[in-house]
Amino acid sequence: MKNQSLSNKSNSDRSPAGELSGRESQVALLAADGLTDKEIAKRLDLQLATIRTYWDRIREKLGTRNRIQSISKLLAQFYREKSRSEREYEHIMKLVVESVPDFAIFIMEPTGIIRTWNEGVKEVFGYDENEWIGRSAEIIFTEADRSAGALQQELSATMELGRANNQRWHQRKDGSKFWGSGFASTVLDEEGNLIGIVKICRDHTLLTGDRQTLPPEDIETDQPEQQPAV
């Protein structure tokens, strides 16, 4: 049985993004609670096509392109809203990041120090929470990229553009390498000050079952977006 979550509250003032309607907020929060679109449709007694229409609206309002970007933006907003009670904040963060276990999703300080963890980090990089939080994000880069200052380059690009895509070889805890893709995006407070960077990464070798696969030629890429915030 799932833990009681904010998805039970449909009022618009409980929306992670204030511009979402009550129903859109409910759909987003149910998704953050780990439900698929089919499960959400059943829970709300709606047609699957209706849920997909809500997702279209959510993406339009949040300025995102897909479900995972929408979740990452909600995560960033939750992180920004630490004025909530600490218990509620931790609960929301847990629901959001654990709803996408195939993706490593975490927030770094602007210096690259890691501050959050999800199950995807274990799946993709092999680190448990106590081995992960508080360390430099350099640990996910290959030795050659560390020497070349890849982390600082990614942080600088993200802070300059608001978002930076990242496709490269990464390194797991056991030293093995994989071709991963994802992006990093800024987290700003209400005054527009930078307070963190949210990063999402997926192991494409997990999709093929070949841990030694070459970088795929047909990975869909987005160009960095000129935007001040996620």
Structure token digits, residue 47: 């047609």
Of 100, 127, 156, the position where a domain reaches its end is 100
Please check whether residue 96 is in contact with residue 32, taking contact to mean a CB–CB distance below 8 angstroms.
yes
pLDDT of amino acid 216: 43
149 and 226 share a domain? yes
pLDDT of amino acid 61: 84
* Amino acid at the residue 107: I
pLDDT of amino acid 152: 94
Condensed to tens digits (0 to 9), the pLDDT of residues 133-178 reads 999 999 999 999 999 999 999 999 999 998 888 889 999 999 999 9
Taking 80 as the threshold, does the pLDDT of residue 39 lie above it? yes
Confidence at 50, pLDDT banded by 50, 70, 90: very high
CATH number for the domain spanning 26: value is 1.10.10
Please check whether residue 70 is in contact with residue 15, taking contact to mean a CB–CB distance below 8 angstroms.
no
Structural domain range at position 95: 1-100
CATH number for the domain spanning 194: value is 3.30.450.20
147 and 222 share a domain? yes
Confidence at 10, pLDDT banded by 50, 70, 90: very low
230 and 133 share a domain? yes
**Most confidently predicted of 10-24, 50-64, 138-152:** 138-152
Taking 50 as the threshold, does the pLDDT of residue 6 lie above it? no
pLDDT of amino acid 225: 38
23 and 108 share a domain? no
28 and 118 share a domain? no
From residue 54, alpha-carbon distances to 10, 41, 43, 44, 200 in Å are 14, 11, 15, 12, 24
116 and 157 share a domain? yes
From residue 63, alpha-carbon distances to 73, 113, 149 in Å are 9, 27, 31
Greater confidence, 78 or 109? 109
Per the structure, the count of domains in the chain is 2
Taking 70 as the threshold, does the pLDDT of residue 209 lie above it? no
pLDDT of amino acid 98: 57
84 and 132 share a domain? no
Of 80, 100, 120, the position where a domain reaches its end is 100
Mean pLDDT of 114-127: 90
- The number of beta carbons lying within 10 Å of the beta carbon of residue 104 is 27
89 and 117 share a domain? no
Q: What percent of the chain has pLDDT over 90?
A: 27
Taking 50 as the threshold, does the pLDDT of residue 5 lie above it? no
191 and 117 share a domain? yes
74 and 129 share a domain? no
Of 50, 78, 100, the position where a domain reaches its end is 100
210 and 134 share a domain? yes
